[in-house]
Amino acid sequence: MRTDTGQAFRLEDYRQSDYLIPELEMIFRLDPEKTLVTTKLLIERRDGVAADVPLVLDGDGLKLEKLLIDGGAVEHNDHEATADSLTITRLPRQSRFEVTIVTRLAPAQNKALMGLYVSNGVYCTQCEAEGFRRISYFLDRPDVLSTYRVRIEAREKEAPLLLSNGNPAESGALEDGWHYAVWHDPFPKPSYLFALVAGDLSAVRDRFVTMSGRGVDLAIYVEHGKEARAAYAMDALKRSMRWDEERFGREYDLDVFNIVAVSDFNMGAMENKGLNVFNDKYVLADPETATDADFANIEAIIAHEYFHNWTGNRITCRDWFQLCLKEGLTVYRDHEFSADQRSRAVKRISEVRTLRAHQFPEDQGPLAHPVRPRRYREINNFYTATVYEKGSEVVRMIRTILGADTFRAGMDLYFERHDGQAVTIEDFVACFEKASGKDLTQFALWYHQAGTPNVTVATSYDARAREYTLEVEQSVPPTPSEARKRLMHIPLAFGLVGPDGQDMAYDGVEGAEVEDGVIHLRKRRHIVRFKGVQARPVASLNRGFSAPITLSLVMRQKDRLFLACHDNDLFSRWEALNTLFTEALIDASTRVRGGKSADFDTTLLGYPAEIAADEGLEAAYRALALTLPAEADIAREIGSNIDPDAIGRAREALRKAIAREAQETFARVYRDLGDDGPFSPDAKSAGRRALRNVLLEYMAAGSGDPASAVRQFETASSMADRAAALSVLAHQFPGGDAARAALAAFEERYRDNPLVLDKWFIVQATTPGGKTVDLVRELMEHPAFSLTNPNRVRSLIGTFASSNQTGFHRSDGEGYRFLADAVLAVEKHNPQVAARLAVAFRSWRSLEKGRQEEARKALARIAGEKELSRDLRDIVERTLA
């Protein structure tokens, strides 16, 4: 375990390496306990570097078995090998020479799942960000690009399949039941994109012909017997390949594209060149085992990793500070892909919900950092919602500002200028400046400044002058180590909605640049005057969520309801309703906390029935509109002195009130939507199921009777419907006969399917209320649970801490004590996963005093441990700071 040295890496300290490694050859002789890795590096000294400048290679927990330079031994005095580095002080004078290194690994013992490890009998690697140095000493940094030739030797019985990056070169038999394969990757790549897989897996094969007519052999490798569950992923892969050609002109470049699904994986998936490695959760799906959300995630993640081939692999990052260069851009691309494959409005609403749930609390708490950070202690902790999700929003804003065609021209220029290079955010932005002729200096603050900007707006209409005025003011809150902020360029898409629901025209505008339905805010304060506005409009602002900001706009409830019914921007319709619900819930939770009852306005209560029955709206949209803000969303909006129990009760009361009001309509719509026959994962069918399942939740809440959920659970023909019914039973009728019977039946039916049992763990871990922490502790003893499998840990412990407000925040602090224990237990073998779990503490300062103190004690206990990993210490200390 890498313990903390307190050392911070700073962007301003970036220097080129003195040496390069244009080529390398590797030989792996695989054994679970004793793998030998021979790495032959062709080293090149950069021009101007003196021959006595030592070569310092990175390592992490390595043991050097052998070292040769140009085939000859190296004197003891001329090198120093530690677990973390190999320094060679005496080097040949010529600028190119060869260094051969042999290391020995025990992949079966590697439970950190970084470097080379064994997952369910399959050898696999994970090298991003700094895992390659756990395999061999190397210049393990993204700006050192090399071509790789990799020979894998293994016992044929144990590992009939031998894969690495690039194209297959040769293969054959060896003595004693061993065999080998050689792979060659002609594209220079950084070490974080290296991959090796060896094991006994089945292939699902297909073929893709690229736009220039080249054939590519596609394969998805899964455990035997799971082939049928990879069909959807294969289809998503082919659609992604075609889409990237059509939308971005990007063609695939190798003869093969391989995907391997493994069951132990720290993250979602990894874009290794030509050999993507996936968490099996994001490959395997069929109607019996996967929900609609699973299908949608698989489609998005298959696309994401594939799109990295150009945005990440062909053009990579100069250093890890630039992570958003590949991640923000690739998330933007996968969002666009999913929007094209599904419904754009529904997709956008889901994106914004995710951003608010994950990125906003990060940006508003102790772990806030810019999309392009300037400092880190442990890079693993920067695979964050800010880098990914806000990074994507920034790219989206570039497109909003430039327009679709100029944006595409900027992307084309980026690919043309930087193919084969390791570059920076400045290089990326410069392409759009060049393509558009616009100065994006102020805009680029979105990359450099942390914090969610707030925009306040006051509106007024002068009927006599026919003038409508928006007084707009921006502010960016202070964040850790950034007390003072500069003013941002905020593209605010808008419409002036007239009495008939249509956008109103105006004759002219003063006070800000307004172009194509977007107000460009650049100053602290703008007074934007629209001339010639014939009647008082209702302002629809930040349409489509054009900028990732919080918007404070005082509006009459009547006007918001008007937008919820009539805005022609579907995102803003949803947003208006969501704001109404949020405001009502904040009020209600204050009342509940003061010992009063949670009353709701009847106008608001009447609207859900209208939405449910409105066939002019897509079912998926209706489902989202009827989904109440989550407890965490309400807490975030309240901001301080939070009592999760009061919020939970207020939300429950609103759900019941709506359900009672809309009882008949909900039941009718639920019935009419019916069971739609054979399962299809397409967006329309998924939307129909989503709507039915939201209605089912209301129906159970309104009636207090589990019967309809029991019926659905028993007759469901898909996991989507079965899991939804299970969650209604477990959450609304906890401990009751119906819930217990359903949980037992589910466990029995999926006993041998760990990915499905994860849903069973999740449902129980997210059961509201103070008893759940005990249940979660108990479930850690379940035979299907494993502390070393990240999916199990995230399902049971992770979802409890991140998604169970009343459970985790139990007022006596038991949830916090439990999480601290779990984090320390996981950290022993997997610091990366432990650090991610600990992130659940990040909003502790916004809680009421008693809970704050309990959370602080739990955090301090972790911080007080002597031997903490760099990953965990970094998170805990920043959270406490």
Q: Which residues are catalytic?
A: 305
Among 118, 201, 267, 780, binds ligand 0A1 (CB under 6 A): 267
Smallest distance from ligand 0A1 to CB 259, Å:
12
Cβ-proximal residues to 506 (8 Å cutoff; 6+ apart), any chain: 468, 496, 530, 531, 532, 533
Cα–Cα distance between 745 and 159 in angstroms, integer? 37
Helix (H) or strand (E) holding 467: strand 467-475
Q: Is 383 in the site for ligand 0A1 (CB under 6 A)?
A: yes
Specify the residue, 330 or 400, whose C-beta has the smaller distance to ligand 0A1.
330
The three-class DSSP label of residue 134 is: helix
643: exposed, middle or buried (Cβ count in 10 Å: 0-12, 13-18, 19+): buried
Q: Stretches 170-178, 265-273, 287-295, 747-755: which one binds ligand 0A1 (CB under 6 A)?
A: 265-273
User: For residue 861, how far is the Cα from the chain centroid?
Assistant: 29
- x/- contact string, 283-312, with ligand 0A1 (CB under 6 A)? ---------------------xx-------
Q: Does 119 bind ligand 0A1 (CB under 6 A)?
A: no
Nearer to ligand 0A1, 187 or 698 (CB): 187
Structure tokens at 250: 């990007």
Least distance between ligand 0A1 and beta carbon 243 (Å): 18
Per the CB < 8 A criterion, the answer to whether 522 and 498 are in contact is no
- Report the alpha-carbon distance of residue 194 to residue 27 in Å, rounded: 13
Cis ω before 613 (30° cut-off from 0): no
- Residue 270 binds what, of ligand 0A1, Zn ion, none (CB under 5 to 8 Å, by partner type)? ligand 0A1
Residue 147 touches which of ligand 0A1, Zn ion, none (CB < 5 to 8 A by kind)?
none
Q: Which of 206, 213, 299 lies closest to 256, judged by CA?
A: 206
Cα separation of 165 and 183, whole Å? 7
* 196: contact with ligand 0A1 by CB under 6 A: no
The nearest distance, CB 378 to ligand 0A1, in angstroms, is 12
Please state, in angstroms and rounded to a whole number, the distance separating the CA atoms of residues 785 and 717: 27
Question: Smaller CB distance to ligand 0A1: residue 379 or 728?
Answer: 379
Q: Report residue 102 as tokens.
A: 């042999």
Q: Tell me: does residue 126 bind ligand 0A1 (CB under 6 A).
A: yes
Asked if 271 touches ligand 0A1 (CB under 6 A), the answer is: yes
Query: CB of residue 308 vs ligand 0A1: minimum separation in angstroms?
Result: 7
Instruction: Count residues near ligand 0A1 (CB under 6 A).
Output: 12
Contact call for residue 575 and ligand 0A1 (CB under 6 A): no
Candidates 28, 67, 242, 276; CA nearest to 154 is 28
Interface residue with ligand 0A1 among 105, 222, 270, 561 (CB under 6 A) is 270
732 interacts with, out of Zn ion, ligand 0A1, none, CB within 5 to 8 A per kind: none
User: For ligand 0A1, which stretch binds (CB under 6 A), given 182-190, 260-268, 605-613, 759-767?
Assistant: 260-268
Minimum Å distance from CB 441 to Zn ion? 27
Q: At residue 290, what is the residue type?
A: A
Cα of 722 vs its chain's centroid, Å: 26
* 383 binding partner (options Zn ion, ligand 0A1, none; Cβ < 5 to 8 Å by kind): ligand 0A1
- Which sign, positive or negative, has the C-alpha torsion 864, 867, 872, 878? positive
Which pairing describes strands 178-189 and 146-155: parallel, antiparallel, or unpaired? antiparallel
Is 130 or 223 the residue whose CB approaches ligand 0A1 more closely? 130
Q: How far apart are CA 655 and CA 701, in angstroms?
A: 7
**H or E element, residue 586:** helix 570-593
Termini Cα distance of the chain = 24
140 or 327: CB nearest ligand 0A1: 327
Return the one option of Zn ion, ligand 0A1, none that residue 121 interacts with (CB less than 5 to 8 A, by type).
none
Using CB distances below 5 to 8 A depending on partner kind, what does residue 799 bind out of Zn ion, ligand 0A1, none?
none
384 forms part of the interface with ligand 0A1 (CB under 6 A): no
Provide the minimum distance between the beta carbon of 840 and Zn ion in the complex, in angstroms, as a whole number. 23
- Give residue 244's identity as a one-letter amino acid code: D
CB of 257 to ligand 0A1, least distance (A): 16
128 binds ligand 0A1 (CB under 6 A): yes
126's contact among ligand 0A1, Zn ion, none, with CB below 5 to 8 A by partner kind, is ligand 0A1
Does position 60 bind ligand 0A1 by CB under 6 A? Answer: no
Please enumerate in sequence order all residues whose Cβ is within 8 A of that of 610, keeping only pairs 6 or more positions apart, or say none.
none
SS3 188: strand
Q: Rounded to whole angstroms, how far apart are CA atoms 26 and 194? A: 11
Closest to ligand 0A1 by CB, 328 or 495? 328
Nearest-approach distance from CB 270 to ligand 0A1, in angstroms:
4
Q: How crowded is the C-beta side of 123, counted as CA atoms within 13 Å?
A: 29
Q: What's the half-sphere exposure (Cβ side, CA atoms, 13 Å) at 600? A: 26
| Site residues (CB under 6 A) for ligand 0A1, limited to 304-363 | 304-305, 327
DSSP assignment of 48-61 equals T--TTSPEEEE-SS
Side chain identity, residue 402: L
The sign of the CA dihedral 68, 72, 76, 79 is negative
Cβ atoms of 281 and 791 closer than 8 Å: yes
Q: Cβ closer to ligand 0A1: 221 or 666? A: 221
* Cβ–Cβ < 8 Å for 318, 194: no
Decide whether 301 or 669 has the Cβ nearer to ligand 0A1.
Answer: 301
Distance in Å, CB of 100 to ligand 0A1, minimum: 28
Binding partner of 266, given Zn ion, ligand 0A1, none, CB within 5-8 angstroms per partner class: ligand 0A1
The answer to whether 266 contacts ligand 0A1 (rule: CB under 6 A) is: yes
Q: Which does 140 bind (CB under 5 to 8 A by kind): ligand 0A1, Zn ion, none?
A: none
Q: Which two tokens stand for residue 45?
A: 């000294």
Output 146 or 330, the one with its CB closest to Zn ion: 330
Number of residues that bind Zn ion (CB under 5 A): 2
Q: Which stretch binds ligand 0A1 (CB under 6 A): 63-71, 269-277, 337-345, 667-675?
A: 269-277
Q: Residue 411 in contact with residue 248, Cβ under 8 Å?
A: yes
Binding mask 312-331 for Zn ion (x = CB under 5 A): ---------------x--x-
User: Do residues 530 and 467 touch, judged by C-beta distance below 8 A?
Assistant: yes
- By a kind-dependent CB cut-off of 5 to 8 A, residue 45 interacts, out of Zn ion, ligand 0A1, none, with none
Q: Write down the least CB distance from residue 299 to ligand 0A1, Å.
A: 14
Q: Would you say 147 or 330 has its CB closer to Zn ion?
A: 330
CB of 253 to ligand 0A1, least distance (A): 19
**39 versus 266: smaller Cβ distance to ligand 0A1:** 266
For residues 765 and 772, the answer to whether their CB atoms sit within 8 Å is yes
* Interface stretch with ligand 0A1, choices 10-18, 50-58, 263-271, 860-868 (CB under 6 A): 263-271
- What residue ranges in 135-222 does DSSP mark as E strands? 146-155, 161-164, 167-173, 178-189, 196-199, 202-209, 215-222
Q: How far apart (Å, rounded) are the C-alpha atoms in residues 159 and 783? A: 28
Binding status of residue 269 toward ligand 0A1 by CB under 6 A:
yes
Q: How far is the CB of 392 from ligand 0A1 (least distance, A)?
A: 11
Closer Cβ to ligand 0A1, 271 or 661, answer by number: 271
Task: Output 193 or 541, the one with its CB closest to Zn ion.
Answer: 193
3-state secondary structure of 389: helix
Q: Tokens for 312?
A: 């990440």
Which spans of this chain sit near ligand 0A1 (rule: CB under 6 A)? 126, 128, 266-271, 304-305, 327, 383
Which spans of this chain sit near Zn ion (rule: CB under 5 A)? 327, 330
